[in-house]
Amino acid sequence: MVMSRKIALITGASSGIGYATAKELATLGYDVIAVARRKDRLIELQEDLNQNPETSDSRVYLAELDVRNKMEVQAFYDALPEDWKAIDVLVNNAGLAKGLSKFYEGDTDHWDQMIDTNIKGLLYVSRTVTPGMISRGKGHIINIGSIAGKEVYDNGNVYCGTKFAVNAITKSMRLELAVHDVKVTGIHPGAVETEFSIVRFDGDEDRAKTVYQGYENLVAEDIAEAIGFVVTRKPHVNVNDMVVMPMAQAVAGVII
């Protein structure tokens, strides 16, 4: 009899933490559903997993998905083959920061992008996947927050607000899902060098590089390893909350 493998759904899997998490969970024996808006980058991920001896046994299901669109999220889930719907781990990783300015000078389009992705996108995907976990009496939701959801920093206003919301939603999920034996974890990284700052500064790579100069920042694999640790705990162990910082970053807005 062939043992069924566990399935992980990762949003924002086309780069950064999502990409690294797909590789980490595939190494741990998970089949991976990788979703993002950039299908070409997802194809690169699939090729990467298929070519790596440590992950080549994992099945990979790709889907182009904008988590901000609740109808699209539901249609994506409805279209999943039946043998992919029993999702064991959901990693709500899709998120972004846009702009860095005083709130009274902020770009309201940037605000909408952050609120729609970081909060509503997380909720849409979780609302779609969680009932299946409840019906099976098992599952694990991992929400990628930020140190910006624990501490505010200058010019971070709306981004910090969205990540404070993620922190509160995560705690509420934990409270409501524990009775169903569904685990919930919030992971809150500090400064991680990914495409995060390039997106924040609208593609200005030179400005983005200055964010990570002069110290050893985190990289995507550091957070993926933390996720790997969390999902491999014993069934009775839930890691509620994890803050992961570079040594050089004492608090959100201070790099030593």
Point out the catalytic residue in the list 104, 159, 212, 215: 159
According to DSSP, the β-strands at 249-251 and 254-255 are: antiparallel
* 159 part of the active site: yes
Distance CA 213, CA 216 (A): 8
Name the packing angle between helices 157-177 and 122-136 (round to 10°). Answer: 10
Paired with 33 in beta bridges are: 9, 61
Contact 145, 170 (CB under 8 A): yes
DSSP state, residue 147: G
The radius of gyration computed from the CA coordinates of the chain, to the nearest angstrom, equals: 18
Alpha-carbon distance values, 249 to 179, 187, 190, 192 (Å): 37, 16, 7, 11
Residues serving a catalytic function are: 159
